[in-house]
Every structure is written in structure tokens, then in C-alpha cells.
Structure 1
């Protein structure tokens, strides 16, 4: 999902120019000063200053720091190493057709695992990992460390966890309305949910694959008195996967804005309705 031009891990929400910190969902410069003053988040990002930008940055940081770590380590090449040319034949009868084959054999906690060692399995893994990395659980250190361990190749987990700990600084958490431990204020519901719309393999070899996942996301704080209402974002995540330990794992990734559709005429629901929906409707295990 990142809409528009693809960028590597390391774009900062602030302006339209290319820089080292791209964001999900168009996190850009802001206008209304939010709680937390001008304290940064440890990566040069200043507090968001309009509700839309701040809300979007919540979903952004998930893959942001991962990209920084991997882009710096690998020279910023979002395509990753070891991938071959894109296969000429797409999986299934068409771009949106399901294969009819069960690709997921199990789960590691709440994250699907045991994906098939083929193009179909790579797409399924990429979609499910995008959901996990864009979840509200990423704002809790213990849960975040586990998610990173489950979704990434072992060689990059430790450094990635350390980078993420710096990004989710007390100042950054305060700016998105959470306490220093990632807790949500009483009476409010923190929302960060990613929903894959489709996947596409752009390159693949026997043990490596590059998969693009087009997503929409919900990010913000629901509840009476919230100054950061839940909004929808659109972005595309490019995941470079590697076959490790009999499963697909993320080696590096990048994100770009869009494609973003025109907003519909639906009337916005109340904060209580949004909070109830998020708490009452569960997610899915995604399969190609």
C-alpha cells in the first residue's frame, strides 16, 4: 500500500518530496499541534499537526522502521536479492480468482504460518504479514517483538526489534493518544487495522519472492471526546520474502501510497459505532 511512487523503509511523514521515511496512507505534513509538544519519535519525525496526518502515521510506523533497517543494510534495494524474473503466468484463472487450494497449514499464535512453498503461498504469507504488522498489537512492546519474530527472517529480528523500540518512543505514543506503554486512555478504543485488497507477485525464484499487497487501513482513536478520529488510508506494501525454516518470512519491505479510490458518499458513523465494530468484528486469515 503506500500510494503513488514506491519508497523504501525510511520515509518520513512530512512533505511530498522523496526522503528517507516513506509512510503508509499518505502521512504527510500536519497543521494542528497535538499533545506531546514538539518531541520527535527518535527517527527525525516531528509530532503530527493535523488529525489526518497524525492518524495515518500510526499505521505507518509498523513497516517504516523495518524498511529503514533493511534498506540501510542492503543498500536500500527494495527488490531484495535472489529473486528471479516475474513468472509469466499468474496464479489462478484471473487476477482476483482464488486457487481453491488450502495454502495455510497452521498458525504461530494468531498469525498464520505453514504457507505453501510456491507463488500462491508467498502471496498468502505477504497478505497475512501485512495484517499483523499493521495491527494495534504493534504498539505493545511484548506483542510487537513477537510479531516481528514470527514474520521476519531470524537474521534481522534482533536489530529490527531494537529499531522499533526507538520508533515507538514515549513521545511518539503520546502523540497518537497512547500512554508510554502503549495503553489506551479509559473510554477510548485505539484502532489500527490493515485489510488486504489484493496481492501480486512481481518476482520469484525457488526460495525468494517479491509480493505487492494492496491494502486499505483503519487508523485512529474511537470514543467520545477523541481528537484523532478513525480514518481510512490506502497503500501498497512490497514484501521481499525468503523461504526459511519451511515457511515464507520477510527479509525486507517497502511501501508506497495508493492506489486510492474516490471517497464514497457514506455518512461517517459515530465514534461509539466505530469502536463497537472494531471490537465486535474479527479479522481473517488471508489466502490466495
Structure 2
């Protein structure tokens, strides 16, 4: 189960963070990036598979700076393609193009969807997991995640048994894709790496798990199912993490306010 709080991705000087251990519990099951968001904060060496809709609901169209695009002149330039045609009942973008560009957009948005506070609510988690995964792998994944998002895992983050934050505190869990890259492709299967940073912790006076950041790269194997890209399996590795800057750490109230006031995006390659 999760170890102490701190970032496995930000250097040895940071405290150990609990997300990575979550994935160890879930095992080699096709894990999602959300559990990644939860799990990447544990130990420093075991691969992870799993980081809700964004903490702030996003409807804008962002331009994920993907690498490995096949039509863009630059790996950091947006493709210019419309990212999605709509969104599912869960609010997660859907209707991605049936090509590598569409797979990259899907992978980035799924990383966000699986990395938010909604993943800590059982009913909402079930909806999210079903919306972004291949139906063939969803049942056993749901069961594994129900076990992972419980007991000591929640306690290590300072959360109540139902996944909510204690009174007076704001739980923060948000994943932000930085770039994407296709590493393998076929007609109905594309493997995409998503380079991410994230925020996780409890904001508020007296928090023993203050909000901190981490850097990691997820690998999602996507398959074309029922007219859209869905996750068949995923894994995670540390970094690449930049050198920490000299920014002043925000107060608990500033962090809580930023998460509340700044919405998320729909990401596009």
C-alpha cells in the first residue's frame, strides 16, 4: 500500500509519495493512468500502471504538445486537427479521430480523467474507468481498483474512509499532460507515451500531506473499440523531471483557491 507522502519523481530530497504503491497492489492488470496519479507517489523503482475529470472541469480546447506526430512539422507543434467530436456522459472527451493523432489526444485526456479527485469516489470511479477502458478489461480492473482505493491507501493520503477530505481541508489531485509520443501503431492499436506532471495532497491549515508535484511518463496501449480509442493497458515510469526552480511555495489557501478557480482543458494533439 502507499508509503509516505512526497515525490518519487522530484529527487531524493522529497518525501516518498503514495501513488506508485497503489499500482503495485493492483498488479499487472491493465492499469490506468489514474491509478498512476494515485500510485506514482510511492516507492522509487517499481513500474506503475494508473493519475477524474480534471479537478477543475475543462471545456476549453488545449493543445497538448505531443511528440511523434506524423503530420505536424514539429514534435511540439499542434497538429491542427479537431481533437474530439463530443464528450461522454461522464464529461470525458470522446469521439477521437481514428488515427495516431486521435490516439494521442485520447491518451492525454484519459491521463487527466484518471488523475483527479473523482477517482476517489467509488461511483464516479466506476463511471470513469468504464468510459475510458476497453470493455474486455473493465470488470477485473474495477474490482482491483475498488481494493486499491480503500483502507490504508486512503489513510496514507490523509483521506476519510470514503475518499473525502477531512473537514477544513481540500483534497487536490490533478494531472497535467506536457506532451505525447506514438511508439507503436497498427490499424486499430496505437501505443502512446504521455509525459505528465501532477499535483496531489491536502490543502488547508494543519495538513500533514501538503500538496506537492511529481513528473512521470505513462505508456497507454489504446485499441479502437466501439468507434473510439480505449485503454487496453498502461504502465508508468519516473520523469523526466526538470530541475526544481526557486519559486516560493504557495500557502495552503492559495493552492486550494487555485485548484477551485482554475479549470482544466480538453487536450489535443
Work out whether the TM-score is over 0.5. yes
Determine the structure 2 residue equivalent to 1:4: none
Deviations 1:37-74 (A, max 9, x none): xxxxxxxxxxxxx9832xx324x467666662138xxx
Please give the alpha-carbon distance, in whole angstroms, between the structure 2 residues aligned to 1:186 and 1:89.
Answer: 45
* 1:265 has 2:260 as partner: no
* 1:52 has 2:15 as partner: yes
* 1:231 has 2:206 as partner: no
Deviations 1:21-40 (A, max 9, x none): xxx95279x9xxxxxxxxxx
Determine the structure 2 residue equivalent to 1:70: 30
Please list every run of 5 or more consecutive structure 2 residues that lacks an aligned counterpart in the other structure.
Answer: 32-46, 50-67
Contact in 2 for aligned 1:140/1:181 (Cα 8 Å): yes
* 1:185 has 2:166 as partner: yes
SS in 2 for 1:154: coil
Contact in 2 for aligned 1:25/1:258 (Cα 8 Å): no
Summarize the Cα distance change of 1:64–1:114 in structure 2 as closer, same or farther, 3 Å threshold.
Answer: farther
Determine the structure 1 residue equivalent to 2:258: 277
Determine the structure 2 residue equivalent to 1:143: 124
Determine the structure 1 residue equivalent to 2:227: 246
Deviates more, 1:264-273 or 1:171-180: 171-180
Contact in 2 for aligned 1:234/1:257 (Cα 8 Å): yes
Contact in 1 for aligned 2:7/2:212 (Cα 8 Å): no
Determine the structure 2 residue equivalent to 1:9: none
Structure with the greater alpha carbon radius of gyration: 1
The match for 1:95 among 44, 59, 75 is 75
Q: TM-score, normalised by structure 2?
A: 0.79
Give the Å deviation of 1:169: 1.8
Deviations 1:177-235 (A, max 9, x none): 11111111111000110000000000100000000000000011100000111111000
Deviates more, 1:99-108 or 1:123-132: 99-108
Please list every run of 5 or more consecutive structure 1 residues that lacks an aligned counterpart in the other structure.
Answer: 1-11, 15-23, 31-49, 79-87
Please give the alpha-carbon distance, in whole angstroms, between the structure 2 residues aligned to 1:184 and 1:149.
Answer: 25
Contact in 2 for aligned 1:25/1:235 (Cα 8 Å): no
The match for 1:206 among 184, 187, 193 is 187
Contact in 1 for aligned 2:107/2:192 (Cα 8 Å): yes
Determine the structure 2 residue equivalent to 1:26: 8
Please give the alpha-carbon distance, in whole angstroms, between the structure 2 residues aligned to 1:119 and 1:269.
Answer: 39
Deviations 1:235-273 (A, max 9, x none): 000000000000000000110000000001101010000
Runs of 4+ in 1 over 4 A off after TM superposition: 61-67
The match for 2:198 among 217, 237, 240 is 217
The match for 2:95 among 114, 121, 129 is 114
Summarize the Cα distance change of 1:235–1:123 in structure 2 as closer, same or farther, 3 Å threshold.
Answer: same
Contact in 2 for aligned 1:105/1:114 (Cα 8 Å): yes
Contact in 2 for aligned 1:51/1:228 (Cα 8 Å): no
Determine the structure 2 residue equivalent to 1:173: 154
Please give the alpha-carbon distance, in whole angstroms, between the structure 2 residues aligned to 1:226 and 1:92.
Answer: 45
Residue pairs, 1:149-168, within 5 angstroms: 149-168=130-149
Please give the alpha-carbon distance, in whole angstroms, between the structure 2 residues aligned to 1:196 and 1:253.
Answer: 15
